[in-house]
Structure 1
Amino acid sequence: MAKSELGMHWSIKNKIVGGFALGSAILLTSGLVGYARTLSLIQDSRWTAHTQEVLKELQKTLTTVTDAETGQRGYIITGEETYLEPYNKAIFAIDERIQRLRKLTADNVNQQRRINVLQLKISDRFELLKYTIELRKTKGYNAAWEFVLTGSGKQIMDEIRNLIDQMETEENALLAGRSEKEKTSAHNTILSYLIGIFLNFCLLCFVYYQMHREISKRQQAEKQIIDLNQELMRQSVELAAANKELEAFNYSVSHDLRAPLRHINGFTLLLQQFYADSLDEEGKEYLQRMALAGQRMGKMIDDFLNLSRISRTPVQPQSVDLSSLAESIALQLQSTQADRNVTFNIAKGAIAQGDEGLLRLMLENLLGNAWKYTSSKVNAIIEFGIVDSNRRPGAGDAELEERNNAFTASSQSPTPNPQLPTPIYFVRDNGVGFDIKHAEKIFKPFQRLHSITEFEGTGVGLATVGRIIERHSGRIWVEASVEQGATFYFTLGL
């Protein structure tokens, strides 16, 4: 990309980023302003509702006093106690009404003063009502009615109504002002949101225009990328075809090697059967070596094909009981050499996710290795178990893993979840062990640390283990020392 094109590219990018930043700032500002205005609107609405509640409470207070008067008059006229029910209810309710009025108007000094006077007047009125009722009970209708006609009760009631009218007038004035303020707050809130939406819409239009220009300029570059991808796909197809050809070649070579190998083994067997008597001891030894070499070569071909097959076999994950697999493999090994004194310590409950067939093959190789390399021990011990993933590596583990990075699959393993530690499994033996500086060899095909005369094998077993661990997105490493045994640690990432 030319320098001028690069400058233009970054200029457009900066405009887009700046536009989004500005839009975010406008959105945040308008949101904060709208939030503040909404809070003000809510507060104004509360004050309006509060004033309406005061007006309702004033009417309820007046109604309570009126109900008391109604009950008193009904009793004076009829003498029936049932007519005193409104009066009795009013006596119990009036104090609560007064206290509620005090609480609702606690911020208004004028109203508090009026409530003090109102409470005294209501108290005086209830005293007169009580006195009149007592007159009716003791001296009869005429005495009570004459007292009513004096007008003292009416005078106090007029004063009560006048006080309540004054309080209602002041509350209505407050209600009008607060209602107007509420309308203004609602208008300002809506306006602030509309302004913010409009500004963001304009900004989005600008950003869209810039992005449209940028997209138009990149269409040609995308076409070039598509062409490159098509070329890459073509090369990938060619590579897949080459891999298939290589696989077929490996199979063909292995198959073609079997025919002459069978002839060599067959004729060697015939020589041993029919002409062994014609040979001296040295000749017989040569024939024996030829037979063993042929068998060894056949085993190497089989192991090579199995190793290649593992790389192609699809992994079918499922829950696998590794402890159960290890126990069955241990029984198989013990049945092959019942005279050996070998103690198997297999932990219970080692469950993993993976392909059961591949994991069985892996354990067969690891436990089989331990069985083989403890053959010289009188009291051999082979262990399988699981350790916590928080285990701190030993002094040489870091260097050891670095040396073994050729056969570990740690680069393909997912990052462990700190909340769900990845289990670390191990297979340990107290066999002959090996020098740890040669650890990088043991997971490579056909690499051996001991001669064929010491321990049989083709050197493919641990390579198979490494390949299976890799297929399960895991990692494997080893701790060992000469005549102190070996411990293979591994994880499974599926």
Structure 2
Amino acid sequence: MSLRAKFTLLLSTVLLVIVANTFIIYLLEKEGQAKLETVIRTHDVLDESEKLYKQLINAETGQRGYLLTQDISYLTPYYSALDQVKEHFLNINKLTINNPEQKKTLSLIDELISKKLAELALTVELVLQGTPSALERAKVVVLTNKGKQFMDQIRTQIELFQDTARAKLEQQDAEYQESKIFITRFVTMQIPLAIILLLFCAFYINSKLLKPLKLLIHITKQVEKGEKPKALTIDIHDEIGYLIKRFVRMSDIVYERTRKLNFQASHDHLTGVLNRTELKPALKHAINLCSEKISLRLYSLI
């Protein structure tokens, strides 16, 4: 396999691992975000149900105040509470649209609220008429105690609805916490994986590129010094191996040619002995060497 193919495969593998891990983390984060949104939605359901019941109490308080005092100013909080009741109930419907069990309980609560609001509206309309008979009828409606019964039933159903939501909230929160822990562990695991991957890449690059280049530089220095490159067993079957083999072969050829040229420059072409240029320094060196040896012998005799 060529060096280019090897590095392409290495980079592709690294890129694939990075992309795969990034995609997995993205999916885990998306799942965790979905679970968090579910937890928040359940919190909102509980909050809206609590507000719904409080506004029903406010509507009843405004109605009672108007019935007792016939002061029209009490109708302002009454009508405001009616609007808030509708708004909060609509919000709960939107938040629980995909939960059949909660929708069933809400249907019963809606029926009870309708009866309660009808009882409030009837008494307010009778008092607004201002006639003695209308006031007496309003008093009879209040004394039947149906309004209190409706409120008790609404409170019971809302508490049941909230208990179910709280149980579901505990389960959702536990699932969300588990998801967070799993994501944290998975991300933490990526650190040693990344270190191992980096070490492998460093080892691979050093083995396939840096070490052969170091060998090539060593051979180049030998050639620069005029030395013959040592015999090497090159077990590299890629572009770098091909380059080193050809460079070693070229170095051997250059060394042999240089040696022949040096011999031809310093020796006679016919006799093979040193030529005049090289003979004079050689004779001078030989004479100096003999003189030194004779001097040493004379010195030893004395």
TM range (shorter): 0.5 to 0.7
- Is 2:68 aligned against 1:77? yes
Higher strand share: 1
- Aligned-residue CA RMSD (Å): 3.2
Shift of 1:146: 6.5
- C-alpha contact (below 8 Å) 2:63/2:124 kept by paired residues: yes
User: Residue type matched to 1:82 in 2?
Assistant: S
- Is 2:159 aligned against 1:165? yes
Name the CA distance, whole Å, in 2 between partners of 1:85 and 1:226.
100
Unaligned runs of 5+ in 1: 1-6, 229-494
What is the DSSP-based 3-state SS (H/G/I as helix, E as strand, rest coil) of the residue aligned with 1:171?
helix
Within the candidate set 183, 186, 192, 2:186 is matched to 192
Name the CA distance, whole Å, in 2 between partners of 1:127 and 1:87.
13
Please name the residue that 1:379 is paired with: none
User: Residue type matched to 1:208 in 2?
Assistant: A
- Percent sequence identity over aligned pairs: 24
Shift of 1:112: 1.5
User: Residue type matched to 2:213 in 1?
Assistant: R
Please name the residue that 1:215 is paired with: 210
Shift of 1:168: 0.8
Alignment of 1:253-268 (within 5 A): none
- Is 2:27 aligned against 1:32? no
Please name the residue that 1:203 is paired with: 197
Name the CA distance, whole Å, in 1 between partners of 2:80 and 2:220.
90
Name the CA distance, whole Å, in 2 between partners of 1:226 and 1:57.
83
- C-alpha contact (below 8 Å) 1:26/1:199 kept by paired residues: no
What is the DSSP-based 3-state SS (H/G/I as helix, E as strand, rest coil) of the residue aligned with 1:85?
helix
- C-alpha contact (below 8 Å) 2:49/2:89 kept by paired residues: no
Within the candidate set 94, 100, 109, 2:85 is matched to 94
- Give the total of aligned pairs: 219
Q: Deviations over 1:407-460 (max 9, x none)?
A: xxxxxxxxxxxxxxxxxxxxxxxxxxxxxxxxxxxxxxxxxxxxxxxxxxxxxx
Q: Deviations over 1:449-473 (max 9, x none)?
A: xxxxxxxxxxxxxxxxxxxxxxxxx
- C-alpha contact (below 8 Å) 1:41/1:186 kept by paired residues: yes
- Is 2:95 aligned against 1:104? yes
- C-alpha contact (below 8 Å) 1:33/1:192 kept by paired residues: no
- C-alpha contact (below 8 Å) 1:26/1:200 kept by paired residues: no
Q: TM-score, normalised by structure 2?
A: 0.62
Q: Greater relative contact order (Cα 8 A, min sep 6): structure 1 or 2?
A: 2
Name the CA distance, whole Å, in 1 between partners of 2:124 and 2:181.
57
Name the CA distance, whole Å, in 1 between partners of 2:216 and 2:113.
91
User: Residue type matched to 1:181 in 2?
Assistant: E
Q: TM-score, normalised by structure 1?
A: 0.40
- Is 2:36 aligned against 1:45? yes
Cα distance change on mapping 1:191 and 1:18 into 2, 3 Å? farther
Shift of 1:204: 0.5
- C-alpha contact (below 8 Å) 1:67/1:86 kept by paired residues: yes
What is the DSSP-based 3-state SS (H/G/I as helix, E as strand, rest coil) of the residue aligned with 2:121?
helix
Shift of 1:217: 4.6
Q: Deviations over 1:329-357 (max 9, x none)?
A: xxxxxxxxxxxxxxxxxxxxxxxxxxxxx
Higher helix share: 2
Shift of 1:79: 2.1
Alignment of 1:264-275 (within 5 A): none
Name the CA distance, whole Å, in 2 between partners of 1:70 and 1:31.
57
What is the DSSP-based 3-state SS (H/G/I as helix, E as strand, rest coil) of the residue aligned with 1:107?
coil
